Amino acid sequence: MECARAAAIEVREETLRLSDLPQFAEVFFTSSVAGLRPVRGIEGGGAAWYGGRCRTR
């Protein structure tokens, strides 16, 4: 997150509902095992993301 902010990329950490996700240009999840991973879509066709500003860097 610090690197993204240093690159002038807006970063927010907050609790969201699944229904909130389609409004965002990119979505990521983090964990201590998997690290930082992009979310590519919501099962059932709720939304999909394909290489936005962060993923293409």
Contacts of 25 (CB under 8 A, 6+ apart): 49, 52, 53
Strand partners, 38: 28
Query: Which secondary structure element, helix H or strand E, spans residue 37, and what is its range?
Result: strand 35-38
How do residues 1-57 score in pLDDT, each as one tens digit? Answer: 788 888 888 888 888 888 888 888 888 888 888 888 888 888 776 788 776 666 555
Q: pTM (2 decimals)?
A: 0.59
Contacts of 34 (CB under 8 A, 6+ apart): none
